[in-house]
Amino acid sequence: MLKTLIAAFFAALAATAVLAADLSGAGATFPAPVYAKWAETYRAQTGVGLNYQAIGSGGGVRQIKSKTVAFGASDKPLTPAELNASGLVQFPTVVGGVAPVVNLPGLAANKLRLSGAVLADIYLGAIKRWGDPRISALNPGLKLPNLPITVVHRADGSGTSFLFTSYLALKNPTWAKQVGGADAVEWPTGIGGKGNDGVAAFVKQTPGAIGYVEYAFAKQNKLPTVAMQNKTGAFVVPAAANFSAAAASADWAKAPGYYLLLLDQPGAATWPITGATFVLMHKEQANGPQGLAVLKFFDWAYKTGDAQASQLDYVPLPAGVKAQVRKTWTSAIKSGGKSLYAGG
Amino acid sequence: MTAATAERSRTPRGAGFDPAFRALCFASATLLLSALAGLLVSLLIGGWPAFSTFGFGFFTSTRWNPVTDIYGAAGPIVGTLVTSTLALIISLPIAFGAAVFLTEFCPSVLRRPIGIAIELLAGIPSIVYGMWGLFVFAPLFAKYVQLPAMMAAPVGSIWEKLTTGVPNGSGLLTASVILAIMILPYMAATFRELFLGVPAKLRESAFGVGATPLEVVWSMTLPYVRRSAVGAVMLGLGRALGETMAVTFVIGNAHGLPGSLFDSGSTIASTIANEFAEASTPMHGSALIALGFILFLITFAVLALARSFLGKATV
């Protein structure tokens, strides 16, 4: 009996030791499901686990700066200046997007067409009814109910709001001047729901409402999305292929530190409100083996994780971008002056 | 004789531990107080940048702009006070009625189950109230309260002003109703305890001179528990002031002053819950901590008031 107890005790100790060797990361909630899925498979294959805490992008940046985690994750890329100031490297992992959703009785999904400028005017409160001539001009032949527009936005600070408001700022000078693009802004009008489900609930309950959610959330919950006009003037629907198009047409090579928002990118099939989610690591790794283990995990994810990412409605990075990121790993992430990553 | 004196003057066994025991008790008490003081001071230090930058305007301005880093707390402060007060107005008569029923009219078979049910209500986590409020209560509230109220309001009257908004179930009044449901069990349970504490002799003599139950409650029980009852109400108010998750889900989360009962608003706690995780600039974080400091002061004032009533009650 005593022997079993002692054996169990040491087994438990050994288990903790294995846990202690797990990789630790913290940050954005948006990629948390795919990181968890990857971690599960990776653990089964290699025995190395990943402990990812989805505490939000802001928290992820704070934690990696204070070095309490091996990597941080953020939906909002840091500027090259910010990266240099804290000695960080960032690279994209998967792509996602934001989709406007509406509640217009009798209207099927993606039938309504909007442009960035009109969407911004709706969110500014300048366009108040669905019967507005600027909306019907984009939708010839479509019968729209002349309902008042109820604007719904995220109440909590989030990367989704960051992408959405940054896009509106890009397309509408008034929005850029009065509101701007950030995780949380001073919304000129509308009601705030907590999280994607909070926004979706308010939109569902209010005829004439418009809101915005992550694409994956809209798809999984079959919310009626909107077709948006992209840079080439074409109207596109939110779909995985159109997010890939945005990621592929973006010029990553010319973006120092991968500081690139995939908003309003060129290309006929490009969805205009697209964004990548990023991982942050220190350039100088005090704990070399741990840094290498993190790189190995993401290298493995780049190689074998695409199918799982697609299943969860994330969009994998184009191969060219992955190759470029691998070069960055070799050139930028070092331990004691030596490159950790020797190519995959 | 001398032997007996010596026996008495000898220090009892274990007396050496007495100072240590005293010190330990004193330490426990001061630890609690210093933790409270430390919390208050650290909130003040954390919020100081916001207080010093915006000055008194922090309390009166309704701007809340994380992009330009300009903050004013008037919206959340008013939202907090309005929702808590409304919640109290809604739940007070119900809590009172439930307690009177339990002590005066309830068949003894039902007394225990109903009492337990009320206590169970108090144990439901607030996030559950939030989800229920958003997905179940809000649609029903929109259909059966907001829409009829908006349609019934005469044009140009104060009622029309009070019921302006989007009839989708969110807003100040929804938040107040959810809060009322949440603080109801606390107040009902405290009232019941208070009513049970009224000496049976008093009540029985009242019944003896031919008083009806209403008269007994009104002229015997109520005056007897008046002060403690005010304390219980204040405790309920204290809980309503700090309630976070349930309110965040249904209040609509618009900064600025709410214009009507169905308008979106925000409370101090909901604003902190929404924005703290992603507050990236130091001033944003400081403004949120300053909000926390203000909430602390409001709650502290309410609880102190409650204490003073409860303290005088024990006759």
Q: Is the dihedral of CA B204, B210, B213, B218 positive or negative?
A: negative
Model confidence at A3, pLDDT cuts 50, 70, 90, reads low
Task: Output the pTM of the full model.
Answer: 0.82
| Burial of residue A270 (number of CB atoms within 10 Å: 0-12, 13-18, 19+) | buried
What average pLDDT score do residues A81-99 get?
92
**Mutant choice from B166, B270, B272, B281 vs A, greatest count of A C-beta within 10 A:** B166
Q: Does A175 touch chain B (CB under 8 A)?
A: no
Tell me the per-residue pLDDT of B142-163, one tens digit each, with 9 for 90 and over: 989 888 888 888 888 888 888 8
Encode chain A in three state secondary structure.
CHHHHHHHHHHHHHHHHHHHCCEEEEECCCCHHHHHHHHHHHHHHHCCCEEEECCCHHHHHHHHHCCCCCEEEECCCCCHHHHHHCCEEEEEEEEEEEEEEEECCCCCCCCCEECHHHHHHHHHCCCCECCCHHHHHHCCCCCCCCCECEEEEECCCCHHHHHHHHHHHHHCHHHHHHCCCCCCCCCCCCEEECHHHHHHHHHHHCCCEEEEEEHHHHHHCCCCECEEECCCCCEECCCHHHHHHHHHHCCHHHCHHHCCCCECCCCCCCCCEEEEEEEEEECECCCHHHHHHHHHHHHHHHHHCHHHHHHCCCEECCHHHHHHHHHHHHHHCEECCEECCCCC
**Comparing C-alpha atoms, which of A190, A203, A119, A207 is closest to residue A155?**
A190
Q: Does A27 touch chain B (CB under 8 A)?
A: no
Residue ranges per domain, chain B? Answer: 45-310
Does B280 contact A58 at a Cβ distance shorter than 8 Å?
yes
Tell me the per-residue pLDDT of B245-283, one tens digit each, with 9 for 90 and over: 899 999 988 888 888 889 899 999 999 998 887 777 889
Report residue A240: phi and psi, to 5°: -50, -45
Instruction: Count CA atoms closer than 13 A to A8's CA, side-chain side.
Output: 5
Q: Does B147 touch chain A (CB under 8 A)?
A: no
pLDDT value, residue A18: 44
For residues B239 and B83, is the Cβ–Cβ distance under 8 A? no
**Mutant choice from A202, A203, A221 vs B, greatest count of B C-beta within 10 A:** A202
Can you tell me the distance from the alpha carbon of B214 to that of B195, in angstroms, rounded to the nearest whole number? 14
In this complex, which of B169, B252, B274 lies closest to A157 when CB atoms are compared?
B274
Which residue is closest to A147 within chain B, CA to CA?
B166
**How many contacts, defined by CB atoms under 8 Å, are there between A and B?**
91
**Comparing C-alpha atoms, which of B79, B78, B81, B63 is closest to residue B283?**
B63
Q: Does B255 touch chain A (CB under 8 A)?
A: yes
Tokens of B199: 């000496």
Query: A226-230, A278-282, B99-103: which has the minimum mean pLDDT?
Result: B99-103
**Which of A272-286, B103-117, B295-309 has the highest mean predicted lDDT (pLDDT)?**
A272-286
Tokens of B164: 């302006």
Can you tell me the distance from the alpha carbon of A248 to that of A262, in angstroms, rounded to the nearest whole number? 10
What average pLDDT score do residues A174-202 get?
91
Please check the confidence at residue A317 and state whether its pLDDT lies above 50.
Answer: yes
> Integer distance in angstroms from the first to the last C-alpha of chain B?
47
pLDDT value, residue B87: 95
Tell me the per-residue pLDDT of B12-62, one tens digit each, with 9 for 90 and over: 777 778 888 999 999 999 999 999 999 999 999 999 999 999 999 999 999
Q: Does A48 touch chain B (CB under 8 A)?
A: no
Does B278 contact A184 at a Cβ distance shorter than 8 Å?
yes
Encode chain B in three state secondary structure.
CHHHHHHHHCCCCCCCHHHHHHHHHHHHHHHHHHHHHHHHHHHHHHHHHHHHHHCCHHHHCCCEECCCCEECCHHHHHHHHHHHHHHHHHHHHHHHHHHHHHHHHCCHHHHHHHHHHHHHHHCCCHHHHHHHHHHHHHHHHHHHHHHHHHHHCCCCCHHHHHCCECCCCCCHHHHHHHHHHHHHHHHHHHHHHHHHCCCHHHHHHHHHCCCCHHHHHHHHHHHHHHHHHHHHHHHHHHHHHHCCHHHHHHCECCCCCCCCCECCECCHHHHHHHHHHHCCCHHHHHHHHHHHHHHHHHHHHHHHHHHHHHHHHCC
**Mutant choice from B62, B68, B168 vs A, greatest count of A C-beta within 10 A:** B168
Q: Does A157 touch chain B (CB under 8 A)?
A: yes
Written out in words, the top-level CATH class of the domain with range B45-310 is mainly alpha
Can you tell me the distance from the alpha carbon of A193 to that of A66, in angstroms, rounded to the nearest whole number? 31
Does A191 contact B138 at a Cβ distance shorter than 8 Å?
no
In this complex, which of A58, A180, A192 lies closest to B277 when CB atoms are compared?
A58
CA torsion B69→B72→B73→B75, rounded to 10°? -110
Query: A101-115, A275-289, B2-16: which has the minimum mean pLDDT?
Result: B2-16
Does A194 contact B249 at a Cβ distance shorter than 8 Å?
yes
pLDDT value, residue B15: 75
Model confidence at B1, pLDDT cuts 50, 70, 90, reads very low
Does A185 contact B255 at a Cβ distance shorter than 8 Å?
no
Tell me the per-residue pLDDT of A298-312, one tens digit each, with 9 for 90 and over: 999 999 999 999 998
Model confidence at B123, pLDDT cuts 50, 70, 90, reads confident
Q: Does B168 touch chain A (CB under 8 A)?
A: yes
Angle, to 10 degrees, between the axis of helix B172-196 and the axis of helix B74-100?
40
Which residue is closest to A154 within chain B, CA to CA?
B253
pLDDT value, residue B219: 85
Does B254 contact A192 at a Cβ distance shorter than 8 Å?
yes
**Mutant choice from A79, A82, A166, A186 vs B, greatest count of B C-beta within 10 A:** A186
pLDDT value, residue B258: 87
Please check the confidence at residue A320 and state whether its pLDDT lies above 70.
Answer: yes
Interface of A with B in 194-223 (CB under 8 A): 194, 198, 201-202, 205-206, 209
Which residue is closest to B285 within chain A, CA to CA?
A58
What average pLDDT score do residues B61-69 get?
89
Please check the confidence at residue A14 and state whether its pLDDT lies above 80.
Answer: no
Report residue B252: phi and psi, to 5°: 95, -20
pLDDT value, residue B120: 86
Which residue is closest to B279 within chain A, CA to CA?
A58
Q: Does A305 touch chain B (CB under 8 A)?
A: no
Model confidence at B119, pLDDT cuts 50, 70, 90, reads confident
Q: Does B135 touch chain A (CB under 8 A)?
A: yes
- Tell me the percentage of chain B whose pLDDT exceeds 70: 94
The single residue listed with the structure tokens 């934690």 is A63
Chain A residues in contact with B142 (beta carbon < 8 A) = 205
Q: Does A57 touch chain B (CB under 8 A)?
A: yes
A195/chain B closest Cα distance in angstroms = 9
A57/chain B closest Cα distance in angstroms = 7
Does A192 contact B63 at a Cβ distance shorter than 8 Å?
no
pLDDT value, residue B312: 60
Chain B residues in contact with A180 (beta carbon < 8 A) = 67-68
Does B66 contact A185 at a Cβ distance shorter than 8 Å?
yes
For residues A94 and A316, is the Cβ–Cβ distance under 8 A? yes
A323/chain B closest Cα distance in angstroms = 31
pLDDT value, residue A90: 94
Mean pLDDT score of chain A: 89
For residues A182 and B67, is the Cβ–Cβ distance under 8 A? yes
Can you tell me the distance from the alpha carbon of A280 to that of A172, in angstroms, rounded to the nearest whole number? 31
B120/chain A closest Cα distance in angstroms = 27
**Mutant choice from A57, A64, A191, A203 vs B, greatest count of B C-beta within 10 A:** A191
Chain B residues in contact with A55 (beta carbon < 8 A) = 277
pLDDT value, residue B2: 52
The single residue listed with the structure tokens 């007996």 is B4
Does A205 contact B168 at a Cβ distance shorter than 8 Å?
yes
Does B166 contact A186 at a Cβ distance shorter than 8 Å?
no
